[in-house]
């Protein structure tokens, strides 16, 4: 079945509810007070079936104080049925409702000129001309205007035929590639059943037994039953008026304005970036800092105008804006919002959501809001490309992208495939995979090369820069969890070498200037020849006529290279001298020995003998028991 939702619009007492009843046989005034007073207070629902087509009607209140309820009802409608009474003509709420449905993105429908049985032909023709006048310059300029009477039945057949014909050419709902999504416009409890929520399903499909999430609260429930206009169903899809009987939540856990969605990476927002139109009829301009009431789907929130690409915005102009919300809302790119003021109460602007996760722009960056991309399906690759570029080295995951756009992960994956094939982006080897632009990696490569040069330019000799410290200097805090992946990428691109946890220029396992290499060779020779009578670094500096600080640095490097060994007491000794001591000890016939025995055997002073013995202990060559030591692993 094809499902199309019509929303009524028009001034109070112009016959919207009576007309829907005459078309469908269903009275939308379900509340006792509505029937007693003869006016619509809350949303009403009806339907009309014709072969493979189902028209769903959302009947809205026409009173000026209930425009917020009317906006909730207009969410999710495909076409509008504007109702104007022939005996009164165009009235204030006629104009406001027309602006609302236009701002909500509804681009077609019909006008029913009701109560024609109460006026003469001339009055009816005058009312038609008045309607044509207010429709001029809007998307409804060419819609049919049909005189009808709910009382006598005049024109109803032609109106019904027109509505069915228009519905056949209405844009189909997003079913494939989207999660199930329904904006709740009514919540109640039924004895023996529990909590029931109703609304117009906006996207996707849903089956009985599935788990759903209530957003923005994040509470989960299970679908026990599904109903469409009183008929129990095993599954439903976008475009239907759906009642969900859910298990696991009380009536108080849901409210009008919340949304039902199948679970996924969906994140509510408090900051919207949107294309905003200020109506020509707005009584004043719009500026940063203004407080407004924002309506989106069936929800509303007090909001503040944070940024405007042009300021102030005069009536009749369109700008790009950022608006902060007083409470979180569940919105996606492509959703529509309406802005109203509280004093005096009026609808003055509306817009199209472009992004819900963009950072808050600074005042000097406001003009850049003009560059925000469109959100049409054909532009999704460009949208992903921009989002990945903006994220930089933080590198969003597939869930980040699909959750931001409001599509199932498999759809986001297909969109990313086009970018990967074009080599515009790279996939990092993480779980789950994350994506970064090639341009971002090229920039990282250049900065890494400069950072290595900067870190080592004043070093005579160095074993490199600690990798963790090096990557922290290149990555912002949010991106540092990906440091291992970026380090591997830099190694792959031959920007650096990684030696024992330290970063060095490519092709080397140590960094050394020509002067450092020469000094290294001299100190190697000096300590090798000194053997068990090694000089201190200061004495070594005097002997080879070098700066003490430079000698100290080269000695540390020779320790890292295994040429020298540093003993307690800041002694440096050549490794070959210690290797000779080990060889002799393992050939000793003594069962154990003391410090005096050791000094006598190798001709050492006590100040050097003790550090060497402690080194032998630490290397597990000897083991100490009291004041005696014995050799471990003695040669036979």
Q: Which helix (H) or strand (E) holds 539?
A: helix 537-544
Confidence of residue 232 (pLDDT cuts 50, 70, 90): very high
Domains annotated on the chain, with CATH: 2-168 (3.40.50.300), 181-261 (2.40.30.10), 269-371 (2.40.30.10), 514-631 (1.10.10.10)
* 555/535 Cα distance (integer angstroms): 12
Each residue's pLDDT tens digit, 466-517: 899 999 999 999 999 999 999 999 999 999 988 878 888 886 555 556 677 7
| Global pTM value | 0.77
Beta bridge partners of 318: 277
DSSP 8-state secondary structure symbol assigned to residue 593: B
Share the mean pLDDT of the chain: 87
Q: What is the pLDDT of residue 169?
A: 82
- Note the pLDDT of residue 28: 67
Q: 3-class SS at 494?
A: coil
What digits encode the pLDDT tens for the residues 382-406? Answer: 999 999 999 999 999 999 999 999 9
Check pLDDT > 60 for residue 197.
yes
Q: Which CA distances in Å does 154 have to 118, 125, 151?
A: 12, 16, 8
Q: Residue 149 has which token pair?
A: 């009477």
Sign for the pseudo-dihedral over CA of 522, 526, 527, 531: positive
Residue 635 exposed, middle or buried by CB count within 10 Å (0-12, 13-18, 19+): exposed
pLDDT in tens, 279-323: 988 888 999 999 999 999 888 999 999 999 998 999 999 999 999
User: Is the separation of the CB atoms in 61 and 13 below 8 Å?
Assistant: no
608-619 tens-digit pLDDT: 999 999 999 999
Structure letter (DSSP) for residue 99: H
CA distances from 125 to 83, 120, 333, 477 (A): 15, 9, 42, 69
581-623 pLDDT, tens digit per residue, is 999 998 888 888 999 999 999 999 888 999 999 999 999 999 9
What's the CA gap between 541 and 548, in Å, rounded?
Answer: 5
| Contact of 325 with 299, CB cutoff 8 Å | no
Among 494, 469, 496, which Cα is nearest to 483's?
A: 469
Instruction: Give the model confidence (pLDDT) of 61-105 as tens digits.
Output: 644 444 566 676 566 788 889 999 999 888 888 888 888 888 888
- When mean pLDDT is compared across 11-15, 215-219, 257-261, the lowest value belongs to 11-15
**C-alpha distances out from residue 281 to 10, 28, 98, Å:** 18, 32, 12
What is the DSSP pairing of strand 145-147 with strand 109-114? parallel
Alpha helices in 104-155 (DSSP H): 121-135
**Residue closest to 199 by CA, chosen among 56, 25, 83, 16:** 56
d(CA 502, CA 225): 61
């Amino acid at each position: 079945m094809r499902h199309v939702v019509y929303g009524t619009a028009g001034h109070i007492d112009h016959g919207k509810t009576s007309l829907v009843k005459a078309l469908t046989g269903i009275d939308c005034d379900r509340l006792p007070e509505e029937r007693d007073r003869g006016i619509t207070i809350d949303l009403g629902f009806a339907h009309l079936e014709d072969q493979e087509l189902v028209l769903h009607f959302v009947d809205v209140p026409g009173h000026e104080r209930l425009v917020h309820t009317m906006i909730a009802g207009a969410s999710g409608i495909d076409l509008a049925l504007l109702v104007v009474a022939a005996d009164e003509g165009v009235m204030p709420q006629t104009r406001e409702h027309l602006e609302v449905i236009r701002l909500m993105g509804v681009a077609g429908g019909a006008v029913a000129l009701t109560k024609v049985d109460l006026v003469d032909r001339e009055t009816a023709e005058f009312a038609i001309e008045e309607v044509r006048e207010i429709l001029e310059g809007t998307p409804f300029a060419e819609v049919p205007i049909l005189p009808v009477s709910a009382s006598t039945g005049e024109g109803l057949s032609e109106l019904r035929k027109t509505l069915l014909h228009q519905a056949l050419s209405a844009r189909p709902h997003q079913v494939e590639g989207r999660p199930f999504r329904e904006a709740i416009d009514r919540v109640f409890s039924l004895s023996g059943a529990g909590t029931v929520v109703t609304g117009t399903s906006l996207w996707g499909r849903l089956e009985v037994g599935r788990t759903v999430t209530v957003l923005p609260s994040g509470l989960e429930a299970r679908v026990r039953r599904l109903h469409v206009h009183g008929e129990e169903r095993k599954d439903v899809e976008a475009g239907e008026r759906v009642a969900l009987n859910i298990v696991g939540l009380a009536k108080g856990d849901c409210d009008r304005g919340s949304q039902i969605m199948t679970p996924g990476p969906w994140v509510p927002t408090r900051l919207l970036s949107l294309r905003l139109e200020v109506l020509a009829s707005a009584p004043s301009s719009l500026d940063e800092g203004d407080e407004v009431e924002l309506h989106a789907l069936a929800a509303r929130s007090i909001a503040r105008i944070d940024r405007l690409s042009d300021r102030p915005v005069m009536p009749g102009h369109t700008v790009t804006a950022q608006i902060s919300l007083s409470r979180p809302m569940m919105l996606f790119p492509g959703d529509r919002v309406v802005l109203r003021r509280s004093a005096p109460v009026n609808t003055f602007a509306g817009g199209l959501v472009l992004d819900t996760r963009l950072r808050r722009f600074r005042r000097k960056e406001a003009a850049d809001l003009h560059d925000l991309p469109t959100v049409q399906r054909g532009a999704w690759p460009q949208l992903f490309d921009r989002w990945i570029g903006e994220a930089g080295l933080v590198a969003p995951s597939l869930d980040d992208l699909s959750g931001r756009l409001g599509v199932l992960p498999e759809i986001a994956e297909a969109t990313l495939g086009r970018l990967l094939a074009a080599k515009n982006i790279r996939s990092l080897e993480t779980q789950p995979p994350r994506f970064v632009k090639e341009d971002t990696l090229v920039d990282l490569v250049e900065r890494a090369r400069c950072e290595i040069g900067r870190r080592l330019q004043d070093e005579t000799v160095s074993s490199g820069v600690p990798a963790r410290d090096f990557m922290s200097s290149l990555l912002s805090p949010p991106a540092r969890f990906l440091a291992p992946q970026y380090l591997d990428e830099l190694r792959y691109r031959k920007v650096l070498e990684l030696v024992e946890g330290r970063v060095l220029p490519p092709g080397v396992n140590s960094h050394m200037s020509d002067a450092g290499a020469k000094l290294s060779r001299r100190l190697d020779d000096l300590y090798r020849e000194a053997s068990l009578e090694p000089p201190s670094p200061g004495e070594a500096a005097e002997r080879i006529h070098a700066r003490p600080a430079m000698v100290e640095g080269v000695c540390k490097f020779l320790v890292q290279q295994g040429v020298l060994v540093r003993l307690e007491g800041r002694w440096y000794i050549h490794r070959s001298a210690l290797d000779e001591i080990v060889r002799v000890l393992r050939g000793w016939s003594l069962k154990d020995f003391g410090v005096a025995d050791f000094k006598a055997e190798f001709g050492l002073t006590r100040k050097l003998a003790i550090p060497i013995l402690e080194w032998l202990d630490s290397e597990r060559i000897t083991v100490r028991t009291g004041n005696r030591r014995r050799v471990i692993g003695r040669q036979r």
